[in-house]
């Protein structure tokens, strides 16, 4: 991975995304792809996450976020590129 370029995006998922294990399953998916970043619920009922890693892995997790876990309903997903931070690990923020 050291020789591959890195990509970082921030996503915001709107819909039925809280109370359906969206954060936990997003963290599982991101970790399985070797991504760094975080995921958190927001006060407006959406879920926000940042993913950093190889472009292919970031694309894969963003596509997963378009539908989320089994009981989620993602009505919209905003995706914005960000500057690389060098963040290590993936955490669920509370």
User: What are the residue numbers of the active site?
Assistant: 23, 41
Q: How far apart are CA 33 and CA 72, in angstroms?
A: 21
Q: How far apart are CA 27 and CA 24, in angstroms?
A: 5
CB atoms under 10 Å from CB of 42, counted, come to: 13
Contact assessment for residue 56 and residue 47, using Cβ atoms and an 8 Å cutoff: no
């Amino acid at each position: 991975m050291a020789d591959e370029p890195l990509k970082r995006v921030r996503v915001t998922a709107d819909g039925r995304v809280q109370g359906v294990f969206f954060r936990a399953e997003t963290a599982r998916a991101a970790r399985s792809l070797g991504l760094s970043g975080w995921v958190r619920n927001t006060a407006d009922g959406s879920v926000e996450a940042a993913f950093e890693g190889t472009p292919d892995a970031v694309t894969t997790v963003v596509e997963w976020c378009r539908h989320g876990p089994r009981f989620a309903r993602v009505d919209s997903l905003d995706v914005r590129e960000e500057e690389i931070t060098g963040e290590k690990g993936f955490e669920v923020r509370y």
